[in-house]
Structure 1
């Protein structure tokens, strides 16, 4: 007689949906992508992003203290997400990890992060430069 053994899965039961999120680190080459539970706290997501970043050997070296960083969502605004909020409550999957600005000792002001934008100059500067090249080349 053949006895079948049932393997028990000891993994904790996950409640809620899982999300594939993308975290772009300011100054790094590309985003980090990983799966999180929508009920995860923002602080946990920052910690996971820093660990993944270090494990991949990315540059610049950031460190591992998640209290030194803030998570932002450029779609929502430039205000940093609060560490106790749930990551799934924002309805977005693309985030930006920024170094926390140095505190001025003002107290409990919301952290606003200036997100760098790629700038290619104005169209007027491009137009004037192209006209200048055409005129001087005759």
Structure 2
């Protein structure tokens, strides 16, 4: 009788499920399996690494603090980085860059202004695309 040594792989606790993260400005979503107990911050980090590994454009960088994760089908704000990804009950997400702040020097003092690219954001784009008019015959 042969004895063999089994590898002890740590079994992840909790359920695992497939999520889809659409990056604003990118061609298509990133899909990967996560544990429902993972923090939103860890999911953002994994998404940024997958995005970079696939060589997608535009180049985002790797600082997870510069991004926000939203539920795609819910009208809520950004998810907290300390929430667990499974607590929201959704599997489709939108990853967006945080609004940039500029420091302006005007008469010896620093002011902070939030800059916006384009008019609106992904929510505006989504509303416009869903409100397409269908012409009748």
What TM-score does the superposition give when structure 2 sets the normalisation length?
0.75
After superposition, the CA RMSD in angstroms is 2.6
Which is higher, the Rg of structure 1 or of structure 2? 1
Aligned residues, how many? 119
Distance apart, 1:120 and its partner CA: 8.4
Structure 1 residues 31, 122: CA separation in 2 closer, same or farther (over 3 Å shift)? closer
Write the distance in 1 (CA, Å) between the matches of 2:129 and 2:83. Answer: 32
Distance apart, 1:37 and its partner CA: 0.1
Which residue does the alignment assign to 1:4?
3
Write the distance in 1 (CA, Å) between the matches of 2:101 and 2:76. Answer: 17
What TM-score does the superposition give when structure 1 sets the normalisation length?
0.75
Specify every segment of 5 or more residues in structure 2 that has no aligned partner in the other structure, as ranges: 103-111, 113-120
Distance apart, 1:123 and its partner CA: 3.7
Write the distance in 1 (CA, Å) between the matches of 2:16 and 2:132. Answer: 42
Specify every segment of 5 or more residues in structure 1 that has no aligned partner in the other structure, as ranges: 106-112, 128-138
Q: Which has the higher strand share?
A: 2
Question: Helix, strand or coil for the counterpart of 1:14?
Answer: coil
Write the distance in 2 (CA, Å) between the matches of 1:81 and 1:120. Answer: 23
8 A contact 1:78–1:114 mirrored in 2 = no
Write the distance in 1 (CA, Å) between the matches of 2:76 and 2:96. Answer: 11
Question: Helix, strand or coil for the counterpart of 1:71?
Answer: strand
1:58-137, aligned counterparts within 5 Å? Answer: 58-102=56-100, 114-115=122-123, 116-117=125-126, 118-119=128-129, 123=133
